[in-house]
């Protein structure tokens, strides 16, 4: 009998072990155990490898579960085996996944979902779909674990039908370009049911989800890169403070990056590089709604979440998608006690009938609610401008940031000078017949408006806490985040807030 057990184990490992001569190209896939080995090396301890040995003889019932270590961080792993019935779910597959989630909860460990699955096995649906410990329990457990332990999804292949909700409930979704996909209904089903002919990439491909739907957070070029990014993410969250590194040395100082004119575009990435420790920035949803930048970084070794407007894209104006993107990231920071740094260069929220029809008001409210309710240290920096509700969105003074800092280039008001003058004096401007007289009048009122909302007046009213030179900003942030690390603002006691949707 001992020999039989040994042979069974060898067959199971062979089913999903090392594939010969596989490269790292996006078109070729690794086996499930090679993926696990790349993630946690030889530290992996497997549970339930013996599932489904007797009846269906499906190795591990198509899912490998267990624990391992990434550096000093212990993690739980659920990994579909695409070689066993296309990684589909059966009764024991579901039970193994639920048990591993329960282990993650009990041990308070991050959980990795390495997804490559064709979805539920229709032949097993009565045993694994509707019951109390059926597939629905997996999603219930994910929601229960949300914000309690990090949940990381690396999508190597399909995540079909109900299984597509596993990535949706994770903190971060890394998708492998060319192979990963997720969809509720396949292209074939769409054609049969609603008559739509569409390719798999158009329906639910990795690039589509990372650029258009926003369901994907990071687009990786191959499996090796995807796994390395997942390891970097969990390592970042595992420690809020490490030894610090100097920022990336750019060609220009921060003071040289910011244009004099408030409407001239510049690249906020260059500004971020000059603030954060070198090679520490980990961006989420880079390809989705790029008018706002969200990501984790270290400043003198301290982990912070960065929310920054990108004036180089759509002028940094917030749209429906960018509001959702920012709100989601702020909730992530708050869940894991990561301080937040807001870098504001924002004209405000987008206006017009199209965005109103898309629900810009409720999406904008979602951003502001996430920012306002976050109970972590927050520093707001007005880099160049923060007009209208844009000031509110970027943790302006009314929302109780630990401090609001302005650079000498900063401007804040209900709206910009040109727009304000046109709004207030529209009839007067129209009544001036002489073109040169009209120009002089407009410029005169713009100058008056600028004086009324000048940085000197804003500072005099203590609307801002400090005016800092750009090249001194990093040092100021290092000192302030060190003081604010014990910040804990009391909120009203209640069961929960009604979050805008």
pLDDT along the chain (501 residues), means of 10: 69 56 55 96 90 74 95 96 89 94 97 93 80 92 96 95 90 97 89 90 94 97 97 92 79 89 91 94 98 97 97 96 98 97 96 95 96 96 94 96 96 82 81 83 81 84 94 97 90 88 81
Dist CA 285 CA 329 (whole Å): 9
- pLDDT tens-place string over residues 325-366: 999 999 999 999 999 999 999 999 999 999 999 999 999 999
Report the CATH superfamily, name and number, of domain 1-237.
2-enoyl-CoA Hydratase; Chain A, domain 1 (3.90.226.10)
pLDDT in the model for residue 18? 44
pLDDT in the model for residue 16? 57
Q: 246-410+464-485: which CATH topology? A: 2-enoyl-CoA Hydratase; Chain A, domain 1 (3.90.226)
pLDDT in the model for residue 19? 39
* Cβ atoms 206, 219 nearer than 8 A: yes
What are the C-alpha distances in Å from 348 to residues 148, 324, 385, 416?
Answer: 34, 15, 10, 10
Helix (H, G, I), strand (E, B) or coil at 157: strand
* Cβ atoms 406, 464 nearer than 8 A: yes
The predicted model scores a pTM of 0.92
pLDDT in the model for residue 22? 40
pLDDT in the model for residue 449? 76
pLDDT in the model for residue 424? 79
400 token code pair: 């109780």
What are the C-alpha distances in Å from 203 to residues 207, 318, 380?
Answer: 11, 27, 39
pLDDT in the model for residue 21? 36
- pLDDT tens-place string over residues 205-238: 999 999 999 999 999 999 999 999 999 999 999 8
pLDDT in the model for residue 382? 97
Helix (H, G, I), strand (E, B) or coil at 399: helix
482 token code pair: 């060190």
Distance of CA 56 to the CA centre of its chain: 40
Output the DSSP codes for 236-299: HHH-SB----PBP--SS-HHHHS-SSTTS---HHHHHHTTSBTT--EEESTTSSTTEEEEEEEE
Dist CA 47 CA 55 (whole Å): 19
* Cβ atoms 41, 26 nearer than 8 A: no
What are the C-alpha distances in Å from 196 to residues 32, 187, 192, 193, 416?
Answer: 34, 8, 8, 8, 46
């Amino acid at each position: 009998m001992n020999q039989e057990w040994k042979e069974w184990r060898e067959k199971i490992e062979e089913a999903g072990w090392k594939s010969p001569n596989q490269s790292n190209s996006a078109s070729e896939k690794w086996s499930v155990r090679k993926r696990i080995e790349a993630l946690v090396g030889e530290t992996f301890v497997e549970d339930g490898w013996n599932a489904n040995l007797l009846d269906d003889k499906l190795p591990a019932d198509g899912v490998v579960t267990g624990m391992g270590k990434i550096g000093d961080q212990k993690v739980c792993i659920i990994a579909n085996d695409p070689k066993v019935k296309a990684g589909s779910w059966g009764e024991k597959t579901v039970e193994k996944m639920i048990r591993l989630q329960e282990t993650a909860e009990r041990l308070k460990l991050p959980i990795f979902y390495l997804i490559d699955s064709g979805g539920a096995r229709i032949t097993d649906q009565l045993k694994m779909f509707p019951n109390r410990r059926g597939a629905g329990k997996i999603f219930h457990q994910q929601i229960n674990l949300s914000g309690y332990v990090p949940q990381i999804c690396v999508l190597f292949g399909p995540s079909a039908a109900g299984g597509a909700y596993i990535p949706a409930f994770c903190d971060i979704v890394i998708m492998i370009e060319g192979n990963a996909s997720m969809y509720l209904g396949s292209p074939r089903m769409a054609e049969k049911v609603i008559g739509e002919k569409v390719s798999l990439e158009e329906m639910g491909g990795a690039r589509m989800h990372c650029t258009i739907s926003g369901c994907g957070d990071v687009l990786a070029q191959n499996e090796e890169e995807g796994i390395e990014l997942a390891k970097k993410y969990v390592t970042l969250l595992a420690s809020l403070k490490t030894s610090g590194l100097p920022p990336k040395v750019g060609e220009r100082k921060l003071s040289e990056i910011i244009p004099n004119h408030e409407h001239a575009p510049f690249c906020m990435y260059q500004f971020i590089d000059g603030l954060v420790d070198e090679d520490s920035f980990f961006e989420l949803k880079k390809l989705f709604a790029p008018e706002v930048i969200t990501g984790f970084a270290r400043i003198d070794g301290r982990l912070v979440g960065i929310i920054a407007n990108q004036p180089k894209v759509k002028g940094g104006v917030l749209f429906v998608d960018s509001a959702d993107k920012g709100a989601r990231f702020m909730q992530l920071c708050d869940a894991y006690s990561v301080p937040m740094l807001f870098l504001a260069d924002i004209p405000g929220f987008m206006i017009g009938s199209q965005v109103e029809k898309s629900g810009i008001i409720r999406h904008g409210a979602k951003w502001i609610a996430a920012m306002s309710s976050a109970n972590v240290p927050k520093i707001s920096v007005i880099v160049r401008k923060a007009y209208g509700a844009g000031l509110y969105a970027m943790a302006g003074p009314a929302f109780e940031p630990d401090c609001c800092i302005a650079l000498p280039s900063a401007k804040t008001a209900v709206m910009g000078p040109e727009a304000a003058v046109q709004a207030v004096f529209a009839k007067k401007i129209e009544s001036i017949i002489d073109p040169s007289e009209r120009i002089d009048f407009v410029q005169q009122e713009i100058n008056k408006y600028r004086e009324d909302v000048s940085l000197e007046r804003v500072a005099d009213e203590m609307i801002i806490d400090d005016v800092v030179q750009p090249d001194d900003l990093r040092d100021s942030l290092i000192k302030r985040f060190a003081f604010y690390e014990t910040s804990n603002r009391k909120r009203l006691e209640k069961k929960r807030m009604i979050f805008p949707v």
